[in-house]
Amino acid sequence: MCCVSRNSVEPVMTQPTPGSAALSSVSAVVHTGGHWSTGLFDVCSDKRICVCGLLCSLCLECSIASRYGECFCFPLLLGSTLALRVGTRERYKIHGTICEDWMAIHCCWPFAVCQVAREMRRRPVFQVYEINTSSPPPSRSMKINTSSPPPSVKDALV
């Protein structure tokens, strides 16, 4: 089978045939673990996030919620910033506690929002690779016992 990327203009050399069993496996590779990639006060490490976060932290938080798959207005709810930060920490397996998240949000809210935005930008959500393998159809061999005739229903009742 010819493996061709989706962006390639090369033709596919072989097609699946009817009756052949194709197994497909999808794997997700995610860089996880460790600590936050930037500190809470490393605001200027990403100038765009720095300006947006310090001028309008709520706008940045709405953008984060949207990228996270939540409603754009999610940050208007109480506790949503904590939920986004904890969710980001869990998604990327970042070491920390919910108490640390609470302290960062309630003591340094704009900085905490900027840190989450930097983390989401630096760590890709998923890098998905699809691996297709083909195997021949299973053989269907049956052994027939010809040494004695099969029992009839009449023999089974007697």
Q: What is the pLDDT of residues 6-65, one digit of tens each?
A: 555 566 666 666 655 555 555 555 556 788 999 999 888 889 998 998 899 999 999 999
What is the per-residue pLDDT for 28? Answer: 53
Q: Mind listing the pLDDT tens digit for each residue in 4-16?
A: 555 555 666 666 6
Per-residue pLDDT tens over the stretch 123-132: 875 544 455 5
Q: In whole angstroms, give the CA distance from residue 53 to residue 51.
A: 6
Alpha-carbon distance of 11 to 100, in angstroms, equals 54
pLDDT for 59 equals: 92
Check residue 54 and give its pLDDT. 84
Q: To which residue do tokens 């004695």 refer?
A: 148
